[in-house]
Structure formats: C-alpha cells, structure tokens
Structure 1
C-alpha cells in the first residue's frame, strides 16, 4: 500500500493483513484486518499516530521511506497491533518523542522496553502544537484497555479513535464505501472486545462528541468521512435497549438435544420471536457475539458429558459471562443418558449475567411428547416476558 491523504496535511498509512484469520488466538477475522497509522504534518512539526503489527513492519517502513523527520510518535493504545513497531520507529527517528497517557507509560516501557527518557506523558485534554495543527488528547479508558486515548486535530475536525469505532476489514478503500458491510464488521468488533465495557463506553461517547469532528479515523478498517451512522450504531449498542430476539447456542451428540432445539426454535418463531441459533460444532464465535449485542434472551442447549455440559457449551457460557451482554432472560435445555448436573454447572458459569431464568429443561434420553409440550411452555414464557417488556408489538 501507499500513504494516502484523508484531509489536508493528514495521510493514512494503512498496512493490510489480507490473510489473517485469527486475532489474539481467539477472535475470528473472516475478512482479514488492517492497521492504520496516521501521519500529521504541521508547519513546525510532524507526528505519527500509532504504528502497526510487527508482522507488517516492512509495509509501514516502506510508506515512511520519504519521511525524513518525525517529532512525535503518539501511542494511543499499547497493544502490539498498534505499538509493535514503536521501538524501531524510535531508532529510525532519534529526535522523536513518544507521547502516551499516564497509564500507558508503564505498559510501553515493560512491553517494548522503551527508554523512559523518550516518553512524554500527556494528561487528559492536553494539547501539543505542530504549528498550524494541534494534537489534542482525550482519555478514553476501557476502549478497550485502561490506558487508551483518542487524538483530535481541531483544524481538520479529525478524530483519531484507535480501536474505538474500529472494524476488522482488509480493504484498499480509504473511506467507507459500503456502510452495511462496515456496520457488521464494526458490530462484530464491538461485540468481541468492547461489549464488557459498554457503560464506560457510553460515557466516552459523550466525551468525544464534545469535539466537532467531520472525520473519524480508526486504527482498524476504513475511515468514516460521514460518521453519523457509526455514532448512531454505537449509541444503540451501549444503550439499555433490547430486541425481541433469542440467542440459542447449542450442540448435540446423538440427536436428542438437537431435536429439542429445533422444536423450540419453531415454537419461538410461532410466538413471533426472532431466533439466532448456533450449532457450536461449526459456529463462528464472532457471529454469536454479534447476536448477543441486542438480544433479550439467551437459551443454552447442551447434551451431558461426564455429568456436566458439553465442553463447547462450557466455553460458550464462559464467553457470554465475560462479554456481559445486556441480556435480561435466560433458559437452559438439554439431555442426558444416566445423570447430569449440566444445569447447575452452566448456572455457575454465568455469574456476571444479571438475568431472570425463565426455565430449565433437562430430559433423559430422546425427547417425548411431554418434552415438546414443556418446550412450548418455555417459548410461551419467553414471549410473555418479551411482551411485558414491550419488545413484541401486539
């Protein structure tokens, strides 16, 4: 790739990771990703905002080969996909000062072994002048580490948001050209790493909106030159609003749980409820996380393995507990051969979910007509709860 202008005196230096399919050995990347650094040239000084993942250091350095001087290197977030090339950049530009938040200082020194003499800590709201441009720093903690911050250039009405509003997309586009595609990728990104901090993110949204920006330049994915839609999306995601939806992750070993799940899906659909069902043997866990952003109810379906839930269900319950979605209701269904404590064990895995349990149903062997009747009752209980919350229009 080559450096391209997004605003007068501001270039994006995007390094595109087309082939990457997993992040942090955990997060699926079906569309790859990109790591965006930004070069800001003022009349008196030049700054580079963030860097790239160490794997793509050559792509970054090639785009900087004609840049003789950088005075400030801004680290908005210390995770290696943004800070991974800072050490090399400080060697290449010995006059540069590394700028970061107070909490980032220790992380950068310990993770990257940066000399403390090269670091300048900036406070929330502090500014650095580049001449005809200004870098104003805005602390945005827990988006998604405690040390994260954004950088605002008032002269260009441009906000460098780092992971805030990011989307894992490998693309040659500088600006958003397909809002629907970016919306889904950004929602996946929010669901996978931001959702546990939505209460803090709501406050950070209010904080950055005090700056009159026309451009949001994130560190993953394309730049927003019409940022209204992504701001509205995040306002919705962090709000307490829920949808008339059920997320139903399940797995089946010999077919009993699958038959129960499929009957329940149909029963819920007859009640007018949208169901997002995920067979955990083949599911993209990111898709499941996306569905958890809005849904009112989580229903888990599991067979029994050695008295407890299937390991895939165990993992999913732990993940949901970690992500802390704004669910209000839950239920557990499943099957067993000779004995089970699956319900008790799953319940113990989700202490962070402040949910009302609408029902549990664990059946021995193949489901019977009585089992299906109980599943119909569960669907009716879910529908009533959703109606009481005015999630269903009657």
Structure 2
C-alpha cells in the first residue's frame, strides 16, 4: 500500500527491520518526576511492588553558538517496564511521582530546557540585560506530557532549573527571576486533559505558587496557525516575545503505529499533504514570535520525511534568520538527518518513532 511504499522510499536501508518493528507491541516507559524523587529510588519502589524495570539513559549533545561551551550535553533517564502494568498498580502514581511517557518523548523537555539555559548563559555577560523575566511557549501542548515534564524541570532544585543557571560569580544573582510559560492547544476537551494531568502531578498554577516557584502558567485554547501572543488576532504582524518555543507539531502519528495499529489503515496519502501544510502554517505563525537568539524545538511522532526533515529544509529555505542546531555524535538515540535526528521504532525495547530538530533564530 502507499504507506509501505513511502516507508521504503524514506528508509530503504532500515525498511525490513522497521516494518517488523511496527508489528511488535510497544514497551511501556515511565517518566519519574526528578523534582520529587531520583529515578533509582523509584525503581526500588517498583521492585518492592514486584514490578521489574530497567533504567534507560539517553544522552544528547548539540552545538551552541556564542557560548563559553561549544557543545552542550545532557542526560535523560527513564524506566522501561518488563511487562505492561496498570497505572493503579504503580506506587505513588496518584500522587504524581511518575507518568507514563514513551522514552523518546522524554527527550523533548530536557532538550528545549537545556537550549534555553545555553541562551541565558550566553547572554549573562550582557550588562545591559537587566530583565530577568523570560517567556516560553509550549505549542500544541495537549495532552500535556511534555508540558508537565518541562514544568518538572523548571520546578526542580538542581542544575536543570533555569533559576539555577551556573554563574561565574558565586555571589551573582540568578539570571531568572520569573518564568512565564504559555501553553496552547486548539480543542477544549484536550485542554481539559492538560488540566487533569497537571492536577495529578501537582503542577497547576496554585501548586506552583504554594511551592514558592515564580512560574506563571497560562493555558489557552487557541489555533496555533493564527494565535499571536498579546495581540489582536487580526493583527498583520506579531511581536517577538518568547525566549524558547516547544512545538510538538501535529503529524500523521506514523511513529506510534505499534500503540495504535489503526493508523496504518486510516491514514491516506492526502493526510500527509494536508498535515505538512498545517505544520508549515504553524511554523510560519510562531517563528516571528520568537526572540533573536531564542530556540524552537520541532517535534513530531512521525516517521515520514515529508513531515520531518523535508519540512525543516523547506522552512529554513524561506527564513534567513533560522539556523539548524547540529546534534553531535554524543547522541545515543536516533539517526542523524540533514537537519535533526530521527528515531525509528525498530528495536522492540526502544521508544516510538520521533523526529527532533532544534532551530535558533539569528539577529537580522
């Protein structure tokens, strides 16, 4: 059928392993709230409940311009269960200690968070920059897994928190005094799912305030192809306001066929064309709202190049102020593309099909 043909066109070398992998059951992964407990400690709690797991550690490296460190490296840890388990059997799940999230999906928040920290580090020598308030955007945020992960990192008390960016001067004040995080999605029922997830994880605005975290969270029901921050929807232009944007873009979801086999039956060739146009519209609308020096992380759960690397190539060809940040050989996940990296669901123990591309906006 058309999907098999397209996969063979896109992934000729990996085609046999990929088509076999898509027929296998997907493993179950957990994301542990590192602000609440270390991954290793929660693994011991699972052992106590007779639930066997393995720690999976993904390493990501990418190049950073105008920074004291030319390469930034980060580590992401999650848990892979040996057997799928009902969430109500997971210790302290109701209290928000852990979330079910694919391992490759767990890369999104740490990457954009680390990129933003690199931006702040590069700007800290600018003595004229006295505004310690930053604005960040999670676009197409529902059901809220990546948003919650980002909030967990922002709320932590370790080096992953933007409030604790390393300073050369031990007595220097934090480069961030307040974080404004806006999350948008275009369907009201999906917005409710965001609120439900944040409530279980104790990450709603009142929870952040009670934890004395200076984070302002604003969840908005809006269309990412037209929405503009703080301006009338009919405005002709939009202002650069965000220091970082996480765009979990709409896609054909061909990377999660193992979890939703009906995708391979319901998707059509026309769906790819329509989805690629939608992605382009969202990118073209959000990009002007990103500040110079800011980062946009483009993410899909697709394994089709038209929605991924080809989308990025087309976008950069139309935006002279967009630079693709190179992922380095430090990465132990995915396949290097001309722009970004592509994860394929080949190994029955690995995560789903995800694509990641990190863009930085240069000064015009």
When the two structures are superposed, what TM-score results if normalisation uses the length of structure 1?
0.30
More RCO (CA 8 Å, sep 6+): 2
- Over alpha carbons, which structure has the higher Rg? 1
When the two structures are superposed, what TM-score results if normalisation uses the length of structure 2?
0.32
